Amino acid sequence: MKCMFHSLLFICSISVACAQDPTGDIPEGARWVVGGTFALSKIGDNELRGSKSYSGAEKEANRLATFLPGMTIMFNLERSTVPGRSEYLEGTTHYGIPVAVLARDISANDFGNRDTTDVVTHQSYTGCRDLACTLEAEVGIGYSFKIEEEDDERLVLYNPQSELRIIHTLDAFDQNEARGYSTRVKDRVHPRLKVHDGYASEISTGCGLTRPVQPLIKVPKDQYDTLPLTWEVNSLNWSLKALELFDVGKVELNAEGTHYVGRLNSELGVGTESDEGPVALDFTVFAYRDSEWTNPDFYKFGGLAQTVTCRKRNPIAGQPLPRYVKNAFLYFDIQEGEQPQDFPLDPVQLPDQFKDNKELQDELRTYLPRAFFYSVNNARQYKELFEYIVEDTNIAFPSAVANVIARLNATCGPQSRAECADIVDRVGALRSD
């Protein structure tokens, strides 16, 4: 599958307020994750999704969405008002992910008050002390640096407290960033992405069901022509946009010029059971913009399509229940900048953490009350999954990878996390054989 990821996209579920400053200065109040922690999703439940796509798809509010490595920068932090979350702060990561994090895992001081803020380190790695790399040094999680020198060939990082100086070629530094090892803060706006998403309810299907060509999707023109930032999560606007974005239908203006009318090209969904059971289809559309784009009203669209395998039937209710996410495809615009989009978009098939090891995925499913594509249960597994996605897809933009993990991941609760980590490690060992 072709994958050329040089544009932005991504995947959080609500609009994120971003402090805009072209100099890359960190906004007041930004802090950082100390050491690393698991974060709850800040996305609300969506009952319509559970009824239209598959049972459990609506359960989002208390999902352990992702792992945040040390030195993840947090913006717009506020004490959570959600019942049961009094010890949590809610905010947005520098990758643009909306999360809730235990306050004890967030720094007491502002990031902007640190002595060194140009580059931060999220994963330990071996750095070079000279350009030829004849001398090496260990760079640890939580290290931060000032950019001492920079030219067309190299980047020199220096920490005055430890007196550690690391020299990167530009290619080596770019690779470190792409793999999530470090983040350049200087001369950049953070968070990088502003994202608003919605559920394409009219083309999503439940376990073993199909979506017929009729009825048509009809939306008033003045409603559809508004900024996507204003669209509600279940607005029909998202379903209309999804027809062209995913290449499953067409959208036309009616003869009176008052409504956009969308129609499927053909029946959508899998009404018969596969060898693994019935199938559900779930479609999400994202409106996103790069914080460095000049027009504040310009958005692009992308999407996430999930195929969910379901059990043949629930012996109690008689209805099929979700088993696991079988495939996930990311749709994005490969053009950089503020150029208008051409639909449909090109899909990128995301790598399957479990591949052919569905028995182990089913074993893990006994600990998790939802369908999932990825499962991260310790810091090492997050690092390994991040690298796996980068290597398999050539996605070079770390915000994209971090957001993909946050959307498709399910982490076990504290009581069972060690057992879940063991299952995922067994999967990894089989996958690498």
In this predicted structure, the answer to whether residue 16 has a pLDDT above a threshold of 60 is: no
Asked whether the beta carbons of 331 and 400 are under 8 A apart, the reply is: no
pLDDT category at 188 given cuts 50, 70, 90 is confident
Report the chain's mean pLDDT, rounded to a whole number.
86
**How is residue 20 written in tokens?**
């805009």
279 against 106, higher pLDDT: 106
Distance, in Å, from the CA atom of 201 to the CA atom of 208, rounded to the nearest integer, reads 16
Helices and strands in the chain: count of H runs, count of E runs: 8, 23
Average pLDDT of span 262-286: 81
Residue 275 is encoded by which pair of tokens?
Answer: 């060898």
pLDDT at 273 over 60: no
Q: What is the mean pLDDT of residues 307-329?
A: 76
Residue 277: what pLDDT?
Answer: 76
pLDDT-based confidence at residue 315 (cuts at 50, 70, 90): low
What is the tens place of the pLDDT at every residue in 40-71? 988 878 888 888 887 777 777 678 889 999 99
What is the per-residue pLDDT for 271?
Answer: 55
Q: What percent of the chain has pLDDT over 70?
A: 89
pLDDT at 384: 96
pLDDT tens for residues 343-393? 999 899 999 999 878 889 889 989 987 889 999 999 999 999 999 999 999
Is 140 a residue whose pLDDT tops 90? yes
The whole-number pLDDT of residue 385 equals: 96
d(CA 79, CA 423) in angstroms, rounded, equals 35
Q: Per-residue confidence at 19, pLDDT binned at 50, 70, 90?
A: very low
pLDDT in tens, 194-251: 788 899 999 999 888 888 888 899 999 999 999 999 999 999 999 999 999 999 999 9
For residue 288, pLDDT over 80 is answered with: yes
- Residue 266, classified by CB atoms within 10 Å of its CB into exposed (0-12), middle (13-18) or buried (19+), is exposed
- Could you report the per-residue pLDDT of 24-36, keeping only the tens digit for each? 456 678 999 999 9
The helix (run of H) or strand (run of E) holding residue 248 is none
Asked if the model's pLDDT at residue 11 lies above 80, the reply is no
Give the pLDDT score at 83. 85
Task: Grade residue 20 by pLDDT with cuts at 50, 70 and 90.
Answer: very low
Q: What would the pLDDT profile of 120-138 be if each residue is shown by its tens digit?
A: 999 999 999 988 889 999 9
pLDDT at 433 over 80: no
Q: According to the model, what pLDDT value does residue 63 have?
A: 82
In the predicted structure, residue 430 carries a pLDDT above the cut 80: no
Q: Of residues 309 and 156, which shows the higher confidence score?
A: 156
Other beta carbons within 10 Å of 91: 26
Please give the helix or strand (H or E) that residue 83 lies within, else none. Answer: none
For residues 305 and 207, the answer to whether their CB atoms sit within 8 Å is no
The number of C-alpha atoms within 13 Å of 314 and in the hemisphere containing its C-beta is 13
